[in-house]
Structure 1
């Protein structure tokens, strides 16, 4: 069984938004203002939402319901034993699903390690620096506007510190979907967004032994 420690998770999620909170597994997330690219959208929030996908200035790929995501930068501590990475698994938003990323952590050392916090290290429930977007576990269902992928309510999670173990050479993968936070003017606002989190190697009682920050930037266009 994965050890947990009941405590408040600082810095796991973005700024909280008012209104009903949907319990999902972390501190509340959301935003009270527009992010980059939130201007210039028409009534449904998506540039080019008049049905002419080819006239969207590159913000709405033809045949999709919203902008596409690409990773433009990643960073981290090359000497840290846990090596993170991120990749795009679903490039564009459609009527059926939002864009999706896969985050991976690999134990590059020669000893077994325990990693925490188990959700934040995979960017689950983590918002970008501007609070415009949030990464949510890809296997969940969330209160979002249909064919828009903007949350109608903020997301709350349980206050616990989760960990998991990695043997030498072993990897852990998670799929996360990109949603716009409540209060955004655009469904999925175009622009560049920066996500950051902290990866900690912890003892069996979940006390951190060493930590390293890592992050990545995406562009929605």
Structure 2
């Protein structure tokens, strides 16, 4: 797999604000199995118990495969948050054609730095330190993203993948939202040189946090 970067333009802060519910540590009862407390806030019943790490992540649906020689896919890698790791996904795109293809944009095709369509959540590459509240997994500030168009060349049968972590939007009153959320990304399929576009499409999926 060959990755190139084209046209570095600038950097920008990405941040969205939403009213979120479901902090890690909230739940329907205490960790020892006691009764609900009188001062429990409204919405706690929408999250999983404390010992499960908050709302559980699952994939509700994915779009139909595109009419192009590439196959995008998504899978859950971490169902619930822990004290050291937020919920996680893995995005993969595979060249199912008989010749090398160049795909763009290189981060978008594996859903890196993508917000859901309502701007409540953000998917970030795993393995980096982000500005979050410990055990909460809500971003405390925007993430700077360079505005460049990256191209990824895949040989026949080759895949590109990215392990992703799921974070809540910054400046919210709680950690992770509950409900159903949609992510989608545009794909550009080009010949090996990257000069001629042969197909383009948008592909996405819906997740649930309950």
For normalisation by structure 2, the TM-score amounts to 0.84
Q: Distance in 2 between matches of 1:4 and 1:207?
A: 17
**SS of residue paired to 2:146:** coil
Q: Distance in 2 between matches of 1:103 and 1:53?
A: 37
162, 166, 176: which is aligned to 1:188? Answer: 176
Corresponding position: 1:174 with 2:162: yes
14, 17, 31: which is aligned to 2:16? Answer: 31
- Count of aligned pairs: 199
Q: Distance in 2 between matches of 1:200 and 1:173?
A: 16
Q: Distance in 2 between matches of 1:33 and 1:188?
A: 10
Structure with larger Rg: 2
Corresponding position: 1:202 with 2:190: yes
Corresponding position: 1:48 with 2:33: no
For normalisation by structure 1, the TM-score amounts to 0.80
CA displacement, residues 36-81 of structure 1 (integer Å, 9 cap, x when unaligned): xx36x6xx68642874486654622452332110000100443211
> CA 1:81 to 1:100, structure 2 compared with 1: closer, same or farther past 3 Å?
same
Task: Tell whether the 8 Å contact from 1:72 to 1:217 is kept in structure 2 after alignment.
Answer: yes
Task: Tell whether the 8 Å contact from 1:59 to 1:66 is kept in structure 2 after alignment.
Answer: yes
Structure 1 segments unaligned to the other structure (5+ residues): 10-25
Corresponding position: 1:220 with 2:200: no
Measure how far apart 1:160 and its partner are: 1.0
For the aligned residues, what is the CA RMSD? 2.5
Q: Which residue of 2 aligns with 1:135?
A: 123
After the TM superposition, which residues 96-135 of structure 1 pair with which residues of structure 2 at under 5 Å, given as runs? Answer: 96-135=84-123
